[in-house]
Amino acid sequence: MKVKALASLSTATGWKSAGEEFTVNAADAEDLIGRGLVERSDAEPVAEPDPGRKAAKPTKSKA
């Protein structure tokens, strides 16, 4: 998930400056957002699930 730093912070890949966008996994992103350190990036829209639509079932191949 792409996020944008709200302040300077240290990551596993080095320092990120305020406003800098970088990618983290979804669990880390939610943790950082909850702590107020980052926000979701506008470059990657958040997929909202459609409650009226069922997820497609995987199909079995007839091989």
State residue 48's pLDDT score.
Answer: 56
pLDDT at residue 57 tops 90: no
Plot region of 39 (φ>0 → left; ψ -120 to 50 → alpha; else → beta): beta
State residue 32's pLDDT score.
Answer: 94
Chain segment 20-39, per-residue pLDDT in tens: 999 999 999 999 999 999 99
Structure tokens at 27: 């669990």
Domain ranges of the chain: 2-40
Average pLDDT, the chain: 83
Distance between CA atoms of residues 8 and 18, nearest Å? 5
* Residue appearing with tokens 């199909």: 59
State residue 13's pLDDT score.
Answer: 87
Distance between CA atoms of residues 10 and 42, nearest Å? 22
State residue 33's pLDDT score.
Answer: 94
